[in-house]
A and B are shown apart, each in its own frame.
Chain A
Amino acid sequence: MRNAIARKTTLAFTAAALAIGGLSTAAFAQRDPAYAAARAAGQVGEKMDGYLGVVGAANPSLQRLVTDINIKRRAVYADRAQATNSTIEEYAFTAGCQAIAKTVPGEKYQAPDGAWKTRTSAPPDRDPRCP
């Protein structure tokens, strides 16, 4: 009897732990390893318009990765633009300001003149309208 209760409790805890684990992975989903590697290698960079761009020579798998992420970003921008009563372009540009600010040294970003730059420990070179 006691053993049965103990087993049930253990099962409940396991279920709860799995549920919490599942929730946290959904809320804090991390980058796909291929995307993380491409960022770190400087093969992709953050553009001013809020989307990801291919830096240098593109190959089909890299292009697919970038297109896939940009489609997902656009869906999120469209949703938030509607919620904040703004246009997709305005929301995307603002997100671009923030995404460039969040790059880490070694990653690529697009400077106001359109050229790709490598992020250093210094603040990135952003559009003067960025907050």
Chain B
Amino acid sequence: MTSSGKWAVGALGPLALAGCINVNAPTEPIVIELNINIRQEVIYRLAEDAGNTIEDNADIF
């Protein structure tokens, strides 16, 4: 019983060390997508109206 407990502690040691999180700074510049000025909530609000507009102007769509 005691010996098996010791084994368990021994096995957990390396695992705890492996749990350390290493953060490496990227070597390349971080690119931020700038086409985010059109927000999804706006698109969802306009979706139905835009769909009707396409159907009402079938000659140019």
Q: Interface on A for B, CB 8 Å cutoff?
A: 27-32, 69, 72-73, 76, 80, 83-84, 86, 89-91, 93-95, 97-99, 102, 129-131
Assuming A89-B38, A95-B53, A129-B38, is B46 touching A84 (CB within 8 A)?
Answer: yes
Partner of A98, one of B42, B45, B47, B56: B47
Q: How many A-B residue pairs have CB under 8 A?
A: 68
Interface size of B by CB at 8 A reads: 20
Partner of B54, one of A30, A32, A84, A102: A102
Q: Tell me what chain B mostly uses at the interface: helix, strand, loop, or mixed.
A: helix
Residue from B38, B47, B50, B59 with most neighbouring chain A CB atoms (10 Å): B50
Q: Tell me what chain A mostly uses at the interface: helix, strand, loop, or mixed.
A: helix
CB of A14, distance to nearest CB on chain B (Å):
26
CB of B56, distance to nearest CB on chain A (Å):
7
Interface assignment of B16: CB less than 8 Å from any CB of chain A:
no
Interface assignment of B10: CB less than 8 Å from any CB of chain A:
no
Residue from B39, B54, B56 with most neighbouring chain A CB atoms (10 Å): B54
Query: In the bound complex, what is the Cα–Cα distance between A86 and B38 (angstroms)?
Result: 10
